[in-house]
Structure 1
């Protein structure tokens, strides 16, 4: 994907195939459900959500979608068991494109991040 100057999350979504757009929209919907009134923005040319600071980012790639943020050690420890099957770094969790998105897990991660931002 060529570097583009995205201004909105919709602009970002629109460059991807419909199936990928649907997966990203599902994450977007979860974020809005967990944190009503969350601010949408583009940061580092990817979708970003702000709630009392940066809440979470996501981005799409050829074979996965990443949920990202400089995750705390507490978050990574709390979800260690759930994240074992995914490629995880200190700042990103990769969800394979050939598997259903674990929306319940994503919801719990966003809830955890929301609580972290409320401290």
Structure 2
């Protein structure tokens, strides 16, 4: 009768059970980085792998399989959304694999973590009743989605004030914004850029701003959400969009917000 392989109950036990010192060193360093990126996370073993959870949501996990290591964001959309950043790596919808002697760059791990946190933050405002009404076996319709994250050199209160009182800095020259539920915003048309308008739907002071996003020519509005999160050094701004009409619009929005956050930083 075959003996079942015992699953480690802690991350310490998991790492201690790795025979290859290179694997142990690589995954140990990855664990240390995740601890710094997710200081409030709970460490556990889920799906037979070391896992970091924040408020009950699995954010990051890693494991070793025969001859390669894997990183897993516990999401089917984070890895596809970061396709360009992961060019050259073997990927699936749920994870990234890499050789034990070629650890994932710290910057890439940070990008993966921030993308997953942004996804969780965006999902957090959906009513529980709406989730229950979604057809069985079929995800809620969110259209094409994209998320961009950047840590900025200012405190969270300063960043929130900047978002709500300086719309021209991130929406575009001449933009106006009334940052309250039901408030309107508008971005004038410029050479090479269509005008944009929409309505503010959700305001969680100091933390989250959610609004519709409808450029000239779009039949239906998309959803734009900005989330401010304090960090040890500065604060991060998570930009998340849903209900985009197509892949072309998704890539255009990814480029737009990446440029905006890089300019701000």
* TM-score under structure 2 length normalisation: 0.41
Residue aligning to 2:38: 35
**Other structure's SS at 2:39 match:** coil
Unaligned runs of 5+ in 1: none
Deviations along 1:70-104, one digit per CA (max 9) or x if unpaired, are 4343x234421121211111111101224243221
Aligned length: 117
Deviations along 1:7-36, one digit per CA (max 9) or x if unpaired, are 100100011122211111111112111111
Q: Distance in 2 between matches of 1:27 and 1:5?
A: 20
Contact persistence 1:70–1:90 (CA under 8 A): no
Residue aligning to 1:118: 121
**Other structure's SS at 2:116 match:** helix
With a CA cutoff of 8 Å and minimum separation of 6, indicate the structure with the bigger relative contact order. 1
Shift of 1:58: 0.5
Q: Which has the larger radius of gyration?
A: 2
| 2:31 counterpart of 1:4 | no
2:64 to 40, 51, 60: 60
Contact persistence 2:49–2:63 (CA under 8 A): yes
| 2:100 counterpart of 1:102 | no
Q: Distance in 1 between matches of 2:14 and 2:39?
A: 21
Root-mean-square deviation (CA), in Å? 1.8
Q: Distance in 2 between matches of 1:83 and 1:67?
A: 12
* Structure with the higher strand share, 1 or 2: 2
**Other structure's SS at 2:28 match:** helix
Q: Distance in 2 between matches of 1:25 and 1:7?
A: 16
Q: Distance in 2 between matches of 1:70 and 1:61?
A: 17
> Which segment drifts farther, 35-44 or 17-26?
17-26
| 2:21 counterpart of 1:18 | yes
* Structure with the higher helix share, 1 or 2: 1
* TM-score under structure 1 length normalisation: 0.85
Residue aligning to 1:92: 95
